[in-house]
Amino acid sequence: MSIQPVVAAVDGSDDSLRALEWALDAARRRGAPLKVVHVRQYASWAQPDILAAGPPDPDVDPVLDRARAHLAERTGPPAVAYVALEGAPGALLPEAGATARLLVLGSRGRGGFASLLLGSNSLAAARDAECPVVVVPRPGGRTYGDRPAGPGRPVVVGLHADSPDETTLAFAFAEAALRGARLRIVAAYPWPLQTWMLPGEMPPPEIDQDAVEHETRTLADGFLAPHRERHPEVTAETDVLPGDAAGHLVEASRTAELVVVGRHRRRLLAPARMMGSVTQAVLLHAASPIAVVPPAPPQE
């Protein structure tokens, strides 16, 4: 059976070349082939002044040529394939993830508004792809790929103690093992608690914050136990913190190798794929690459 590739989406932008570096490193760590994909939008050539020339030559793709040149000095595995597709990136990139081990792309490409921190294609891929999606932001001075981002940087994962996502935790432990990195688990609990009362109601008894923190840690330790057993080589530490989970994960990203978050499960009244507010906030503001892990398919 063939090994699923790591797919890198490129569009000729510097952001996508940084993502290509990250994808190359990820493919090497996994012993997987690398597939470089460029989706050529019809709108890029169907302008009135050049419409008469027709669509671009399918055998000529300057974006893939630039990607080849970028990787030309890299030697050794993995095997690299280059694929050009025609259509809408927001639709075709998630489809490319259907047969991929990992889909990697930059936070922004050539289109859109310069003020946006996350491009629409990155958002669509993170929301819709069937495989984990890694979004590589603009580095702000740090480096990725063959050159490590820095010694001792952990992989960070968010844990919702009330409804943990086992697939996300499994991905985070496996990624930390691949990288020989520490794993930092951030388990946030809401604080201060807000209580709504009707006029005349008695206030509820005061809740002890230490008790809430202890209960959150106990729940987290129980959920993490099987993952620790499967990956005894991974040093995993749990931070139980009050307040906003997204804020804690964004702050942790400043010194992280990778931040791992889960994507919402489909619900009966909301069957479309969606991302939670924490995942969206991390995608928008994290300083490190972000892995968005889709939920496991439902058991039949």
Band (192; pLDDT cuts 50, 70, 90)? low
What confidence score (pLDDT) does residue 60 get?
78
For residues 146 and 102, what is the distance between their CA atoms, to the nearest angstrom?
18
Comparing 144 with 63, the larger pLDDT belongs to 63
Compute the mean pLDDT over every residue in the chain, rounded to the nearest whole number. Answer: 82
- With 50 as the cut, is the pLDDT of residue 270 above it? no
pLDDT of residue 123: 85
First to last CA, the chain: 24
Q: Are 233 and 178 in contact (CB under 8 A)?
A: no
pTM check: above 0.75: yes
- Do the Cβ atoms of 8 and 63 come closer than 8 Å? no
Q: What is the pLDDT of residues 97-111, one digit of tens each?
A: 899 999 999 986 554
Reply yes or no on whether the pLDDT at 268 is more than 50. no
CA distance 228 to 172: 11
| DSSP string for 186-218 | EEEE--SPP----TTPPPPPPPPHHHHHHHHHH
pLDDT at 200: 61
Give the pLDDT confidence of 221-247 residue by residue, as tens digits: 999 999 999 999 999 999 999 988 999
pLDDT average, residue stretch 2-14: 91
pLDDT at position 272: 45
- Average pLDDT of the segment spanning 145-170: 78
- Output Rg (C-alpha) for the chain, integer angstroms: 21
Q: Which of 67, 82, 70, 91 has the alpha carbon at shortest distance from 33? A: 82
Q: Which residues contact 295 (CB under 8 A, 6 or more apart)?
A: 165, 167, 262, 263, 264, 265, 266
What confidence tier does 298 reach under pLDDT thresholds 50, 70, 90? low
Quote the pLDDT of residue 75: 72
47-91 residue pLDDT tens: 444 444 445 555 678 999 999 999 988 777 789 999 999 988 888
Instruction: Verify cis geometry, omega within 30 degrees of 0, for the bond prior to 78.
Output: yes
Tell me the domains of the chain and their CATH numbers.
6-136 (3.40.50.620), 155-197+205-293 (3.40.50.12370)
Quick one: what percent of the chain has pLDDT higher than 70?
76
CA atoms within 13 A on the CB side of 300: 0
Q: How far apart are CA 230 and CA 120, in angstroms?
A: 37
| Predicted confidence (pLDDT) per residue in 200-221, tens digit | 665 556 677 888 899 999 999 9
Q: Kindly provide the b/e burial profile for residues 60-78, where b requires at least 16 CB atoms within 10 angstroms of the residue's own CB.
A: ebebbebbeebbeeeeeeb
Amino acid at 160: H
